[in-house]
Amino acid sequence: MDYKREFKIFAWMAAFFLAAWFMPVGTARFDNALLESFELLRWYAHEHVLLCLIPAFFIAGVIAVFVSQASVIKYFGANAVKWKSYLIASVSGTVLAVCSCTILPLFSSIHKRGAGLGPAIAFLYSGPAINILAIILTARILGVELGIARIIGAVVFSIVIGLLMAFFFRHEEREKAAAQLNIPDVDDGRPFWHTALHFFALVGVLVFANWGEPGGDAGLFSLIYEWKWHLTGFFGLVVAYTMIRVLGMKVPHVVLAAVPVAVLAFLLPGNPLIPFVVGTAGLVVLTAMYQGEPREWLLSTWDFTKQIMPLLGAGVLAAGLLLGTADGEGIIPGEWVAALVGGNSLGANAFASVFGAFMYFATLTEVPIVQGLLASGMGKGPALALLLAGPALSLPNMLVIRSVMGTKKTSVFIILVVIMATISGMIFGTM
């Protein structure tokens, strides 16, 4: 008998029993926190699963199936030119307007394809942290100083944290580099622009379908928001074209899947989610119909979905229970948070970093939350610390990262983000 394994099972059972025994059901705060957790889960399902995660899963599937392992290793592998790989990874957020959860399928995909730990981590951090619209909103609402500090801090963070992770786990990286020397550069059989067009068409759907309202007259950003669904539809047409040209699907099949989407978009202009869902369903059916790469793409997308979705759901529930939502409190009282982030002390900056790391921020929601905390006495230093730690990390995000690269690396990554956010907040608060 494996006594160690049996003891672990007993420990989990005992912990579950004690949690059930002492669960404070009936108390106002716990009952409200429970409602907030389900409210956050419902909001997450409405706002993020269909428009954010599903396109991200399909993009991750493209990387896994259509982008050769040799190509990923060439630009992001352990033997790649460092300044190029870190530069590309650190500015990826300007292209991907995603949150800390939507970046996960893409990170998981390039990590599995052989990307070096440093560039992969830089990509993981920069994706949600350097959202150009969020930077603009930060500058407009919270002040130009915070906006500039946020973008400088995010770019520097992604590179420094990536380099530190590569250094701390350099022995594993050396082994990976040695193994990658034996991987031949295999031609995938199609022009590079075919794969690139297919990939960026899907990225266009992801970006514009989730383009947030800028708030006020923001010039180009307001114009894009006004035309976001037209732009999404355009990139959807490009996806249809690549399915014919790149994947070799028959024109009648693709047209048959596209016609209901176009009809619904015309009949229901005020409810674009319905044609979006129908278009996604059509994509699933089409890829399932064809053998070879189309079906491999679907199966790879499904593998990422199975791995990530359950962990995200559990993480969102836990985050809502502990920290609440933007409109309601969890178990941890909001006044505690406001009191602990006042001023620019080391404790205030550290708490803001930890609080931001564990709380879930959807794209752009961190700005009004920080605005409210500043009105409650939050210091400028802790505000920056929260803005640097919050969008890139969350409790759901941590659970998925752990499933991809293990407990040890995930713990080091979280600690580095918290420490660097704290230091940045301290420096900014004294300026």
* pLDDT at residue 345 is higher than 60: yes
| Helices (H), ranges, 246-292 | 251-267, 273-289
* pLDDT at residue 104 is higher than 60: yes
Residue 212 DSSP symbol: P
- Residue 305 confidence (pLDDT): 87
| Helices (H), ranges, 102-143 | 103-112, 117-129, 132-137
Residue type, 217: D
> How far from chain centre, in Å, is Cα 73?
22
Q: What is the CA radius of gyration of the chain?
A: 22
Q: How many CA atoms lie within 13 A of 406 on its CB side?
A: 5
Q: How many CA atoms lie within 13 A of 158 on its CB side?
A: 28
* Cα 213 to Cα 231: distance, rounded to the nearest angstrom: 15
Residue type, 238: V
Position 184 confidence tier, pLDDT thresholds 50, 70, 90:
low
Could you tell me if 204 and 238 are in contact, meaning their C-beta atoms sit under 8 angstroms apart? yes
* pLDDT at residue 71 is higher than 80: no
For 348, the token pair is 């205030």
Task: Report helix, strand or coil for 66.
Answer: helix
- Per-residue pLDDT, averaged over 273-293, amounts to 92
* Cα 399 to Cα 395: distance, rounded to the nearest angstrom: 7
Cβ-proximal residues to 322 (8 Å cutoff; 6+ apart), any chain: 33, 330, 331, 332, 358, 395
Across the chain, mean pLDDT equals 82
The DSSP bridge partners found for residue 378 are 342, 343
Q: Range with the lowest mean pLDDT among 39-43, 87-91, 180-184?
A: 180-184
Torsional sign, CA 294, 296, 300, 305: positive
Q: Indicate the helix (H) or strand (E) that contains 35.
A: helix 28-44
* Cα 369 to Cα 352: distance, rounded to the nearest angstrom: 12
* Cα 320 to Cα 332: distance, rounded to the nearest angstrom: 10
* pLDDT at residue 179 is higher than 80: no
- Residue 150 confidence (pLDDT): 85
pLDDT digits (tens, 9 = 90+) for 355-408: 888 887 766 667 767 776 776 678 888 988 988 888 778 888 888 888 888 899
* Cα 264 to Cα 328: distance, rounded to the nearest angstrom: 36
Check residues 341 and 18 and name the one with the higher pLDDT: 18
Torsional sign, CA 109, 114, 119, 121: positive
Share of the chain above pLDDT 70, in %: 87
- Per-residue pLDDT, averaged over 218-246, amounts to 88
Residue 392 DSSP symbol: T
Which residue in the block uniquely carries the two structure tokens 């007259």? 217
For 376, the token pair is 């409650």
Share of the chain above pLDDT 90, in %: 20
Cβ-proximal residues to 6 (8 Å cutoff; 6+ apart), any chain: none
Could you tell me if 418 and 349 are in contact, meaning their C-beta atoms sit under 8 angstroms apart? no
CA distances from 414 to 150, 313, 353, 385, 389 (A): 18, 20, 10, 14, 9
